[in-house]
């Protein structure tokens, strides 16, 4: 993309943004890329102040003006940051009307030349709600939980904040300035990791067939074999430990001695990235050869080193996404649940369940999510393509992950002793 294009307001998509959009377009009438939630506010919340708060947040960040467009000359899909913002309003409706709306709030986005977010405020005679819905390629979980909800508390509480938020358009420009030779080193790194990938070995083997593709499925179980206290004196963190357990579980599930999968990093390394309301996450491929035996301690140290290497080369992931190499990889995600209680002013507010919508579909073949709960316990959530896997098979895989969570706590054991 040229300097002239930028001057005219056309910005390139990040590789992972483009990958998400292309994946969504395979099932364009789905909500697979919607990041949404339903908040039930405390009874003492002032809904007029909440309306003012959310309008101030939305007008203060350029990502909410983001629209995907085709370049008029090259026809390349790109993004602009000059879209019109429709004000958030307060809808006063009956409890019966809200109950009828409850399961119909999520809808697919029309991706070209349209807003990519939806915030609705409701007040009924008995309750106060906010439904939010962001297209995932513009907002990630960190932006939502750590930044937007935190900013809502600051604005609602009328605290004085002088610092201007960074712009997502500037973040895109900074990525364009990376020297080609720096990118080339990373390209070679990712190519080396992925050269050994084999979907028949490294993706759980399907146990059903004949069902419509991309049917969404989900299984969640509590982790029985560890709590957060276990990590208090470890040199590795929870992300490393549970990623290692997941790699072992998928290998055992398929009866193989190697693993190639990807893991999600929030992409927020610099001070500006940590304050950026937008989409910064990456999926980083990672591999391990279990034929080369080692102790659990050496394995965890090795995974920790590979994680650090991957973060170092994160700017070169365009090679992975542009060639569609992420499409078939099992993806691991560790996160603190974004749907816990949160504070606005002096009030404690909570998330309510949203019924499954008729537009849902599986985003990936398999996502392994480890969630840290507010009580310092963990759960395993498997989001999977139910056209490939049965619920019982996914429950077995989740149980295997928890099994390796226990086995990895004996650091002097050899991997050959615990894998099979």
Residue 420: what pLDDT?
Answer: 82
pLDDT value for 362: 67
Cβ neighbour number for residue 348 with a 10 Å cutoff? 11
Residue with tokens 């893991």: 263
Tokens of 286: 């990672």
How many angstroms separate the CA atoms of 228 and 235, rounded?
14
Contact 31, 97 (CB under 8 A): no
Enumerate residues 6+ apart whose C-beta is below 8 A from 308. none
Give the pLDDT confidence score for residue 261 in this predicted structure: 95
- What is the predicted pLDDT for the residue at 25? 87
Is residue 71 within 8 Å of residue 322, measured between CB atoms?
no
Q: Are 10 and 68 in contact (CB under 8 A)?
A: no
Question: What are the φ and ψ backbone dihedral angles of 196, each rounded to 5 degrees?
Answer: -95, 5
Q: Is 327 helix (H, G, I), strand (E, B) or coil?
A: coil
Residue 3: per-residue pLDDT: 87
- At residue 327, the pLDDT reads 72
Task: Look at residue 210 in the predicted model and tell me its pLDDT.
Answer: 65
Q: What span, in angstroms and rounded, lies between the C-alpha atoms of 367 and 364?
A: 7
- Secondary structure (3-state) at 406: helix
What is the token pair recorded at 187? 């390209």
Residue keyed to tokens 């960040």 = 61
Residue 44 · residue 86 · CB < 8 Å: no
Residue 151 φ then ψ, to 5°: -65, -35
Residue 8's pLDDT is 94
Look at residue 146 in the predicted model and tell me its pLDDT.
83
Q: Which residue has the tokens 């939806």?
A: 118
- pLDDT value of position 60: 95
Residues of the chain with pLDDT below 50 are: none
Written as six digits, the tokens of 339 are 């749907």
**So what's the pLDDT on residue 275?**
94
């Amino acid at each position: 993309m040229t300097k002239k294009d930028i001057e005219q307001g056309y910005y390139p998509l990040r590789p992972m943004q483009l990958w998400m959009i292309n994946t969504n377009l395979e099932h364009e009438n789905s909500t697979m890329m919607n990041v949404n939630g339903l908040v039930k506010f405390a009874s003492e919340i002032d809904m007029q102040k909440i309306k003012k708060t959310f309008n101030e947040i939305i007008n203060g960040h350029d990502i909410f003006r983001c629209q995907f467009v085709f370049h008029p000359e090259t026809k390349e899909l790109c993004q602009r940051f000059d879209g019109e913002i429709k004000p958030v309003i307060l809808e006063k409706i009956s409890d019966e009307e809200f109950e009828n709306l409850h399961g119909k709030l999520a809808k697919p986005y029309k991706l070209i030349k349209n807003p990519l977010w939806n915030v609705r405020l409701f007040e009924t005679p008995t309750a106060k709600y906010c439904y939010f819905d962001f297209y995932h390629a513009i907002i990630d979980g960190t932006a939502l939980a750590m930044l937007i909800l935190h900013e809502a508390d600051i604005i609602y509480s009328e605290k004085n904040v002088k610092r201007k938020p960074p712009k997502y358009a500037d973040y895109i420009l900074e990525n364009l300035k990376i020297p080609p030779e720096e990118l080339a080193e990373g390209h070679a790194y990712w190519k080396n990791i992925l050269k050994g990938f084999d979907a028949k070995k490294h993706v759980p083997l399907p146990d059903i067939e004949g069902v419509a593709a991309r049917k969404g499925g989900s299984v969640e179980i509590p982790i029985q074999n560890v709590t957060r206290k276990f990590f208090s004196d470890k040199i590795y963190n929870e992300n490393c430990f549970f990623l290692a357990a997941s790699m072992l579980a998928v290998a055992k599930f398929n009866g193989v001695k190697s693993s190639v999968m990807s893991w999600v990093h929030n992409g927020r390394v610099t001070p500006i990235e940590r304050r950026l309301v937008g989409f910064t996450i990456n999926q980083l491929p990672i591999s391990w050869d279990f034929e080369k035996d080692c102790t659990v301690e050496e394995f965890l140290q090795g995974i920790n080193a590979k994680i650090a290497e991957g973060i170092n080369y994160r700017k070169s992931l365009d090679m992975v996404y542009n060639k569609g190499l992420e499409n078939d990889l099992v993806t691991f995600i560790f996160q603190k649940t974004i749907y816990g209680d949160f504070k606005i002013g002096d009030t404690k507010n909570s998330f309510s369940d949203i019924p499954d919508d008729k537009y849902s579909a599986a985003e990936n073949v398999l996502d392994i999510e480890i969630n840290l709960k507010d009580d310092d316990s963990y759960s395993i959530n498997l989001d999977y393509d139910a056209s490939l896997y049965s619920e019982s098979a996914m429950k077995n895989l989740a149980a295997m992950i928890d099994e390796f969570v226990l086995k990895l706590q004996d650091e002097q054991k050899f991997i050959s002793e615990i894998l099979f």
